[in-house]
Structure 1
Amino acid sequence: MSKTLLRLLCMSALVLPLGTSLFSERAAAAEPEACTTVRMSDPGWTDITSTNAVAGVLLEALGYKQKVETLAVPVTFEALKNRQLDVFLGNWMPAQKRFVEPLTASGDIVVLHQNLEQIRFTLAVPKYVADAGVANFADLAKNADKFDKKIYGIEPGAPSNQNIQKMITAKQFGLDGWTLVESSEQGMLSQVTRAGKRKDWIVFLAWEPHPMNTNFDLVYLSGGDEYFGANYGASSIYTITRKGYAADCPNVAKLMNQLTFNVPMENTIMGGILDNGSDAKAAAKAYLKSKPELIVPWLAGVSTRDGQDGMTAVKKALGV
């Protein structure tokens, strides 16, 4: 054997383990093929449409695909339990407590973290109605005829609607004979818009973040603590996943565990969708491009689908 050939063989022996090691590290960073598509849910609420859009912009930049299904809240929890969904960004608490507690106790879902805190979620009236003396749940029955004995809610099956119906059934606050009008977020807000133009009286479900807080001059009602919680239904929103998702897809789970939102962000993105007719992901991408500092903590330790640097990939996609 020539000395040249011997040197080449020795160099190959040194290089091969190094190359193999690098490949193995990249392979280890890459998740299973099943993780490529991240299955999520939207109950038809613009705030969750907005947060899903933010997640979608990040996921696509990282090399994943996002699949969002429009599902009512009870169906969403059932789908998570049956492993038909991976992630839900809209776990409102305490409103969804009765869905969450049995599934966390059985281990069928995992609560990752709080993604938005201290927001309001209760009944509200236009300010002209509040100025006429309606400031508390107890004031509703006194003005039953003006309200036509109706409370406007969102989509059928929503926990908030169930709370309202429970309140009516129990004849709380003198609401005997009142009716819950169920439709959708947009259907309800259309009723509020029509009522406002005519200065008709209306009581409806309201929450923040949402452009309704700037589009309408509204007042949240006090006194509903038993059904919506203290401090005008002060709520927090959590990110939840199906059982085993963090073990199956650790990179996406890490992103979801670090993804947090704030009221100005959601109001801006929702405003783009509802007021300007923007595509949700376009509105989310425009917001993130204007606030690139937000992505820094979200992407800490997060890689692309094929194991490359996640921050670099997202910044490139945003053009920042």
Structure 2
Amino acid sequence: MKKIVRYLTPAVLAALTACGGGGEEASDSGSSNNEGQSEQSQQESSNDKGETITFGKTSWTSTAAPTQIAKQMLEEAGYNVEVELLDQPVIWEGMQSEEIDVFMDAWLPYTEEQLWSEYKSDLQKVSTSYEEVPTGWVVPEYVEAESIADIKENPEKFGGKIYTIGAGAGIVNTSKEVMADYNLEEAGFELLPSSETAMISELKSKISNEEPVIITGWRPHSMFVDYDLKFLDEPKENFKYDNVYVLSYKGMEEKYPEAYEILSNWSISVDTLEQMMYEYAQNDVPFEELAADWIEENPDKVDAMMEGQE
């Protein structure tokens, strides 16, 4: 087994340099520096498999950090890695056609049940990122409502609006079911798909004035670090606790066995991921840098993921 030669990929070097790392090596003599570059070039050359792994990534911040960590680790293992920013249904279709190799953020068995039913004959669960995480409708803690039944009584209090993310996402489809099951359109509510960024902007604006607001929410997400929020009770249980999986198409383990082996050992805690998302949202720390830091701080976990490398 080859343990990871830590932090020598271009992506990781760039991230560490941004943090101020690498200054000591830069002050070495020219001959020593050239020798180090030669050794690094030889290492990269020996690791280069000449194969490209393509990740599908949504605009959700919960997808960004895991994708970036996996990208840097697969680059260290010698793969070229590309990341395609796509709508969620397009990613699943791309995996079916093997144009997309991996998706790091599939919510199953409930939130993305429709997509899984459509594509499960061609796709597989590679590993579990984290388990038992909630989705649902979220309000600030200062809002008196505790359940869907409570908001139905006072639609004008919320402007008749429920803010959500892009159409086609599992949480949007489930929200449509909630709208129908509780007759919320007849009560005066409207579900408004937009983007995660627009939804969070609306939440921030309303909280700054301590106004009532309803959004679709899920954990992990930095909103639960930023604000005091609560999920509304939903007695008909359209929203259920999910696990989050890494997906690929069936046969990836034969096409890219080492990449598959690395990804099959992947996991991350919800608290860790939310903190990374918070650093990105509040302190403008790039996910590339956050991923490099995670790799640096978790050597045992990284080595375990890299088991199986020749």
TM-score class, shorter-chain normalisation, is 0.7 to 0.9
Alignment of 1:178-257 (within 5 A): 178-223=189-234, 225-229=236-240, 234-257=241-264
Alignment of 1:1-320 (within 5 A): 33=50, 36-93=51-108, 94-104=110-120, 106=121, 108-129=122-143, 132=144, 134-168=145-179, 170=180, 172=182, 174-176=184-186, 177-223=188-234, 225-229=236-240, 234-301=241-308, 303=309, 307=310
Distance between the aligned counterparts of 2:306 and 2:223, measured in 1?
31
SS of the residue corresponding to residue 115 of structure 1 reads strand
Q: What is the aligned residue count?
A: 263
Distance between the aligned counterparts of 1:101 and 1:88, measured in 2?
16
| Counterpart residue identity of residue 205, structure 2 | R
Distance between the aligned counterparts of 2:235 and 2:246, measured in 1?
26
Distance 1:139 1:49, change over 3 A: same
| Counterpart residue identity of residue 198, structure 1 | N
Task: Give how far 1:110 is off.
Answer: 1.5
Task: Give how far 1:53 is off.
Answer: 0.9
The C-alpha deviation readout for 1:86-107, integer Å capped at 9, x for no partner, is 0111110110111112322x3x
Q: Point out the structure with max Rg over C-alpha.
A: 1
Contact between 1:137 and 1:173, CA under 8 Å: does it hold in 2? Answer: no
Unaligned runs of 5+ in 2: 1-45
Percent identity, please: 24
Unaligned runs of 5+ in 1: 1-28, 308-320
Distance 1:268 1:196, change over 3 A: same
Task: Give how far 1:290 is off.
Answer: 2.2
SS of the residue corresponding to residue 258 of structure 1 reads coil
Greater per-residue helix proportion: 1
SS of the residue corresponding to residue 234 of structure 2 reads coil
Task: Give how far 1:138 is off.
Answer: 1.1
Distance between the aligned counterparts of 1:59 and 1:30, measured in 2?
10
SS of the residue corresponding to residue 85 of structure 1 reads coil
Distance 1:126 1:271, change over 3 A: same
Distance 1:224 1:252, change over 3 A: farther
Distance between the aligned counterparts of 1:73 and 1:228, measured in 2?
19
SS of the residue corresponding to residue 139 of structure 1 reads helix
Contact between 1:272 and 1:278, CA under 8 Å: does it hold in 2? Answer: yes
Contact between 1:83 and 1:243, CA under 8 Å: does it hold in 2? Answer: no
Contact between 2:49 and 2:79, CA under 8 Å: does it hold in 1? Answer: no
Q: TM-score, normalised by structure 1?
A: 0.78
Contact between 2:62 and 2:277, CA under 8 Å: does it hold in 1? Answer: yes
